[in-house]
Amino acid sequence: KNEVEQSPQNLTAQEGEFITINCSYSVGISALHWLQQHPGGGIVSLFMLSSGKKKHGRLIATINIQEKHSSLHITASHPRDSAVYICAVRGEYGNKLVFGAGTILRVKS
Partner 1 sequence: NAGVMQNPRHLVRRRGQEARLRCSPMKGHSHVYWYRQLPEEGLKFMVYLQKENIIDESGMPKERFSAEFPKEGPSILRIQQVVRGDSAAYFCASSPRRTDSYEQYFGPGTRLTVT
- CA 21, 83, 1, 61 dihedral sign is negative
DSSP state of 77: -
- Binding of partner 1 by 79 (CB under 8 A): no
Choose the stretch contacting partner 1; rule: CB under 8 A; options: 17-25, 30-38, 51-59, 63-71. 30-38
- Binding of partner 1 by 23 (CB under 8 A): no
- Binding of partner 1 by 54 (CB under 8 A): no
Element (H, E) at 60: strand 59-64
> Which among 9, 35, 36, 13 has a CA at the least distance from the CA of 22?
9
Choose the stretch contacting partner 1; rule: CB under 8 A; options: 18-26, 52-60, 64-72, 89-97. 89-97
- Binding of partner 1 by 98 (CB under 8 A): yes
**Which residue's CB is nearer to partner 1, number 60 or number 101?**
101
- Binding of partner 1 by 68 (CB under 8 A): no
**What's the rounded Cα separation, in Å, for the pair 70 and 72?**
7
